[in-house]
Each structure stands twice: as structure tokens, then as C-alpha cells.
Structure 1
Amino acid sequence: MTKKILIALALGILSGYLAAPDSVYENTGLLMDIGLCLLLFFVGLDLGSNKDIFKNLKNLGFRILIVPAGTILGSLAGGIVCSLIFDINIFGALAIASGMSWYTLSAIIITPISSELGTIAFLSNVFREVLAFVAIPFIAKNIGYLETIAAGAAISMDTGLPMVTRNTNSEVAVISFISGVILSLAVTVLVPIFVGLMA
């Protein structure tokens, strides 16, 4: 699967550079939305066909929150380490880390305070998303299923969900969706808090 993703990305870059007409660029957002909706529809179809998933999740209860909580703590710890290595304002680094793959929102919130940190937020969260797509199959095979959710963070409820579903199982896919929702909500709270502390 990783090879297919890398080949598709390379073909897209090559096509965009060499041959794609302007009409393709005008409709890229729409085409991506349609593709994402189709992916999520088939993921939902697969989840709905497994009747035991929701029963098993009910048994987990509040333990489901461990995955997003661990993802948040790991992301923030990474931000602290990066602030020390690269001599970045600690609250700026925490704001960047709090983006958790939601590159558009985090960059928009951070840029008015610092265009440099806003750019870093955009790029680091884009890289996190791209690396998650490549790493999820490896993580699922060699480390563990739940860890695939942490790799993608906020994207584990949308663009990352098909990758998690394909490489794990239906129960983990549902946990992935729930975690993605919680992490996306956390981004909207944590990034503004740390940006406020930067000022």
C-alpha cells in the first residue's frame, strides 16, 4: 500500500509539473472532496457490516480516551524537545505541535503572531500528514494497531481513516474516528491557548 501511495503522489507531482491543464487546478478541491467522500463511504460500509464493533467499544468505555490523550501528550512532548533543539519560543513550539496534522487551521491561528512560526506550523503539520500515510502500514505491522492512530493525529477521522482501516481492523477504525474528532476539537482549543501565551 505504501508503494501505491508514493507512486500516486509522484505521478500527481509529475502531471502537475508537466501537463495538467488549468481546468484541473480549478476543480482540484471538488475532486478531492468527492474522492474523500467515496473513501469514507466505503469505510463506513465496512464498519457497518461488522455488528460486534459497537458492542466491543461499549465495553471499552472511557478507555477510548487514552488514545487521543496519549497523542496530545506525545505531540506536546515533541514540541518541547523541538523548542530546545531549534531554540524556538516554547509556547510557539507547543502551538505548532498542537496543530496535530491540521495544517490549515494551526497556520492561520499562528501566522498573525509570527509569520515564521506560521510557516513552520504549516509545513510541519503537512509533513506529519504525509509521513503518516507512508508510516501507517509499517506501524500497524511492526509496532501496533492503536499506534497508527497517533501517527496521523487529527487526520485519523478523515483522510487517514481509510489507511488505518486497511491496515488494522474495524474496531480500531472506529476508535480512530472517535480519536480524530477529539483531537480536532483539541486543536481548536490548544493552539489559541499557546498562541495567547506567546504574546
Structure 2
Amino acid sequence: MSFKIIASVGLGIIFGHLFLSQELLQYTNIIIDIGLCILLFFVGIDIGRNKKAFSKIKNMGFKILLIPLMIGIGSILGSIIGGFLLNLPVNESSAVGAGFGWYTLSSMMLMQYSSELSALAFISNVSREIIALISIPFVSKYIGDLEAIAPAGATAMDTSLPIISNATNSKAAIIAFITGVILSSSVPILVPILINI
């Protein structure tokens, strides 16, 4: 699966460079949205046909909230450690980490603070998503299904969900979706709080 993702991105770069005109480029966002909706529709079908997964999630109760909480704490602490290596203040590095992989929103929110920090947030969170897409199958295979949700962060509810669903099981896919929703909802709250500390 990871090889297919890397190959698809590589082919897309070649196709875009060689064949895509400026007139067609204005429609790429619409095409991406349609493709993502179709992909998530089929992931939903796969999740919905497994009735046992829903009962297992119900039995977990509020403990399910520990997964996004731990991913959030780990992401922010990891970015603070990375910030020390780059000589960044704690408020800046933690705000970048609080993007949880949602590169468009976090970089736009930090643009008001600093264009350099906005660029760092964009690059960091795009890198997180790419690393997640490549590493999720390996994390699932060698560490565990629930652990495979962590690299995705906020993207566990959209772009990374098909990879998580394919690499794990229906229960983990449902938890990934819930985790992605919670982390995505946290980004517009945590980024302004952390940057203003």
C-alpha cells in the first residue's frame, strides 16, 4: 500500500509537470474533493458492514477519548522537543505541533503571527501527513492497530482513513475517524491558545 501511495504521488508530479495546463489546474481542488468523498464513501461502506466493530466501540465507552488525548499530548510534546533543537520558543513550537497534520488551517492561523512560522507549520504538517501515509501499514503490522492511528493525527478522519482502514480493521477505522474529528476540532482552539502563551 505504501509503495502504491508513493508511486501515485510520483506519477501525479510527472503528469502535472508534463501534461497539465494552467486552465485545468483551477479544477484540481474540485477533483480532489470529489475523489476524497468517493474514497471515504467506500471506507464507510466497509466500516458499516462490520456490526461487531460498533458494539466493541460502544463497550469501550469514554476510554476511547484517551486515544486522541494521548496523540494530541504526544504531538505537542514532540514539537516542543523539536523546537528546542531548532532554538524555537515553546509557544511557537507547540503551536506548530498543535496543527496535528492539518497543514492548511494551522499555517493560515499562524500567518497572523509570523510568515516564517506559518511556513514551518505548513512544511511540518505536510511532512507529518506524508510520513503517516507511508508508515501506517508498518506501524499496524509491527506495533499495533490502535498505534497506527497516531501518525495520522487530524487526517485520521479523511486522507489517512483509507490507509488505516486497509492496514488495520473496522474497529480501528471507527476509532481513527473519531480521533480525527476530535483532533481536527482541537486545532482552531489550541493553536491560538499556545501561540499566545
- Tell me the TM-score normalized by structure 2: 0.97
Q: Equivalent residue for 1:128?
A: 128
Q: How far 1:23 sits from its partner (Å)?
A: 3.2
Q: How far 1:4 sits from its partner (Å)?
A: 0.6
Distance 1:177 1:45 in 2: 14
- Say yes or no: does 1:72 pair with 2:72: yes
Q: How far 1:17 sits from its partner (Å)?
A: 1.3
Superposition RMSD on alpha carbons, in Å?
0.9
- Say yes or no: does 1:188 pair with 2:185: no
Q: Equivalent residue for 2:45?
A: 45
Structure 1 residue identity aligned to 2:10: A
Q: How far 1:21 sits from its partner (Å)?
A: 2.1
Structure 2 residue identity aligned to 1:25: L
Distance 1:49 1:32 in 2: 26
Unaligned runs of 5+ in 1: none
Distance 1:84 1:6 in 2: 31
Distance 1:8 1:128 in 2: 18
Structure 2 residue identity aligned to 1:182: I
Structure 2 residue identity aligned to 1:129: E
For residues 50-199 of structure 1, what are the structure 2 equivalents within 5 Å?
A: 50-197=50-197
Secondary structure, counterpart of 2:159 in structure 1:
coil
Secondary structure, counterpart of 1:194 in structure 2:
helix
Structure 2 residue identity aligned to 1:40: L
Secondary structure, counterpart of 2:51 in structure 1:
coil
Q: How far 1:94 sits from its partner (Å)?
A: 0.3
Write out per-residue CA displacement over residues 123-161 of structure 1, whole angstroms, 9 at most, x where no aligned residue.
Answer: 100010111101111111111111111100000001111
Identity of aligned residues (%): 45
Q: What is the aligned length?
A: 197
Distance 2:26 2:111 in 1: 26
Write out per-residue CA displacement over residues 94-113 of structure 1, whole angstroms, 9 at most, x where no aligned residue.
Answer: 00000000111111111111
Structure 2 residue identity aligned to 1:99: G
Q: How far 1:12 sits from its partner (Å)?
A: 0.5
Distance 1:126 1:32 in 2: 16
Q: How far 1:185 sits from its partner (Å)?
A: 1.0
Distance 2:145 2:126 in 1: 22
Structure 2 residue identity aligned to 1:97: G
Secondary structure, counterpart of 1:100 in structure 2:
coil
Q: How far 1:31 sits from its partner (Å)?
A: 0.7
Secondary structure, counterpart of 2:40 in structure 1:
helix
Secondary structure, counterpart of 1:87 in structure 2:
coil
Q: How far 1:62 sits from its partner (Å)?
A: 1.0
Q: Structure 1 stretches (4+) deviating beyond 6 angstroms?
A: none
Distance 2:113 2:180 in 1: 27
Distance 2:162 2:74 in 1: 23
- Tell me the TM-score normalized by structure 1: 0.96
Secondary structure, counterpart of 1:52 in structure 2:
helix
Write out per-residue CA displacement over residues 3-57 of structure 1, whole angstroms, 9 at most, x where no aligned residue.
Answer: 1111100001111112212233111011101110111110111111111121111
